[in-house]
A and B are shown apart, each in its own frame.
Chain A
């Protein structure tokens, strides 16, 4: 187990190093000279050549690319993500300020999704191949197919504009959570319900369930005490992965509902061509995502002693 953890940690650090490289080189995808783009973002349209050259020197953009990368990496090691090119705010401070809003939305949507998905999945599995089951699975496949920007707008139109029950944008009170959390939660619920159903059906077909029934336990006990414990493991992993994904900011939903989170920060900085903010956000999101996936894997190993990691890779 310790060996497994050490190995996974080593792998994650390799991956994160790779991530920094991808993030750094992505900035060179933008057409044109970075110094010029930055100068445009900072001083607006009327700028002189000398301004660009001064900026190039000040930002260290005149050094060779690999030197720039190493310098940037050196800053990263000191947790210095640089300053925003537009507002000159510290990038990391800005991101950490947005983190709570994103995390709260992630928790709320995860709750919504589990509250819908678990009952639906379990019910479909128990009533396998009945009308109820096909109905649930039809709805869930429909749910996977609905783009969440459309669902979000539909909810805004219905509940915010027409019925005026909930606010359509902003952040602050509990009411603000309802529409964004529901939008995100339902799209996650669709997949989670399918997974729950598949997993429970598989477990219910195993011999130890037959054995438990033979021992005379009633169906409820068999389900809750024997089957669910194992059936929920993949669901838990998936929910964990989804949570990590959501921590990176639900870009679209945050944009629609003007939710002041990391996803919206990223989209705004892409439009402003704020290179250091884009780099900071993407790096932060990727690292958070990798670490949360690692945490899920380790949690899985703790919860399911059947998994032997010394053989597994």
Chain B
């Protein structure tokens, strides 16, 4: 009998802890921790780029074009004799900037839309969800590609194109959370005092949605960085001479046979960055007990 009560207690505890971030568990996941460390390194790169880069990323020395890696140019030089290492370091500013900007914009709007949709329900919910369906009816690279292509290349059109296409994932996620939360006893109890809907959403529902949103956001930074560099690679995003990894890769393509390092290193940097965010996000997901499917849907 006592055994049974204990079991029930444990079960209750587990139930309460089900979707809380478990820092101890996160700390033990060495992949996740190393992801977090890599992100810290990238932030240092971005913040202190002028101090870290050995050469001027824009300085062209045509007599030094397409040099292989050496001590002066750790990653070699590109087709205009610019130091690839310095350009790659400066590139963190662009990619992290786009990633953070887009995820900040989409997570906030997506969450707000999801909250509204889930809490209000009815016709509004139906309309918003059909809107989400419409955006999701496009494979998202396609829509981003067309928007960026029509707006014309540049930093702001990449950010806009990716923001317009990446918010529905948050809206769907948060709406689902709200729907399951609003029937829970503590929300019913809070409602008994008849506070405003805004108060309930802010005080009782939002805090319980925030964790999955953070997990999704971390994984989305990785997606957004890949997408942004893909747009630039196709020539529809950030344009040269700005040192963006995707456009650096593109400019190396004609020299693939003779100087593969021009395409190799910028790509390696993308992988490094995306890897860091994927590991950290995956670790966060695992230690807060969310299913893999969430990540799959986000793709």
Interface residues of A (CB under 8 A from B): 11, 14-16, 18-19, 22, 26-27, 29-31, 138, 141-142, 144-147, 149-150, 153-154, 156-157, 161, 191, 194-195, 198, 234, 238, 244-245, 248-249, 251-252, 255, 266-267, 270-271, 278, 282, 285-286, 289-290
Contacts and interface: CB of A to CB of B under 8 A. Distances in A.
A289 B147 contact: no
Nearest to A202: B291
B169 interface: no
Contacts of A278: 146, 149-150
B181 to A, nearest CB: 18
B274 A145 contact: yes
A251 B145 contact: yes
Contact of B137 (A26, A147, A251, A286): A286
Contacts of B142: 248-249, 251, 266, 282, 285-286
Contacts of A29: 147, 150-151
Interface in B247-293: 249, 253, 256-257, 260, 263-264, 267, 270-271, 274-275, 278-279, 282, 291-293
Contacts of B137: 15-16, 18-19, 286, 289-290
B293 A282 contact: no
Contact of B149 (A14, A149, A270): A270
Nearest to A288: B139
Contacts of B279: 141
Interface string B133-166: 1110111011101110111100000000000000
Contact of B292 (A31, A195, A248): A195
B146 A153 contact: no
Given A150-B249, A161-B257, A252 B133 contact: no
Interface string B120-139: 00000000001101110111
Contact of A156 (B236, B256, B282): B256
Contact of B256 (A157, A267, A289): A157
Contacts of A26: 146-147, 150
Nearest to B273: A145
A257 B296 CA distance: 27
B233 interface: yes
A93 to B, nearest CB: 21
7 cross-chain pairs, A with B, having the tightest CB-CB distances, nearest first: A150-B267, A18-B134, A270-B149, A145-B274, A198-B292, A145-B275, A29-B150
Nearest to A30: B150
Given A18-B130, A251-B142, A285-B139, A145 B278 contact: yes
B151 A245 contact: no
B234 A255 contact: yes
Nearest to B157: A29
Contact of B146 (A18, A31, A282): A282
B253 A153 contact: yes
Given A14-B130, A19-B138, A270-B236, A145 B256 contact: no
Contact of B133 (A15, A153, A161, A198): A15
A114 B59 CA distance: 47
Interface stretch (B39-47, B99-107, B111-119, B222-230): B222-230
B299 interface: yes
Contact of B270 (A22, A147, A286): A147
Contacts of B69: none
Given A144-B222, A270-B150, 7 more contacts: A138-B31, A147-B226, A147-B270, A150-B249, A198-B291, A198-B293, A251-B142
B257 to A, nearest CB: 5
B222 to A, nearest CB: 7
B163 to A, nearest CB: 14
Interface residues on B, range: 35 or more
B133 A11 contact: yes
Contacts of B97: none
Contact of A194 (B31, B267, B292): B292
A141 B222 CA distance: 12
Given A141-B282, A145-B278, A153-B267, A191 B299 contact: yes
A125 B212 CA distance: 25
A153 B263 contact: yes
Which of A153, A266, A282 gathers most chain B CB within 10 Å? Answer: A153
A267 B231 CA distance: 11
A22 B150 CA distance: 13
Contacts of B151: 29-31
A203 to B, nearest CB: 13
Given A19-B134, A19-B138, A141-B279, A234 B263 contact: no
12 contacts: A22-B143, A29-B147, A31-B151, A141-B31, A147-B267, A150-B267, A194-B295, A198-B293, A249-B142, A282-B143, A285-B138, A285-B142
A153 B230 CA distance: 13
Nearest to B152: A31
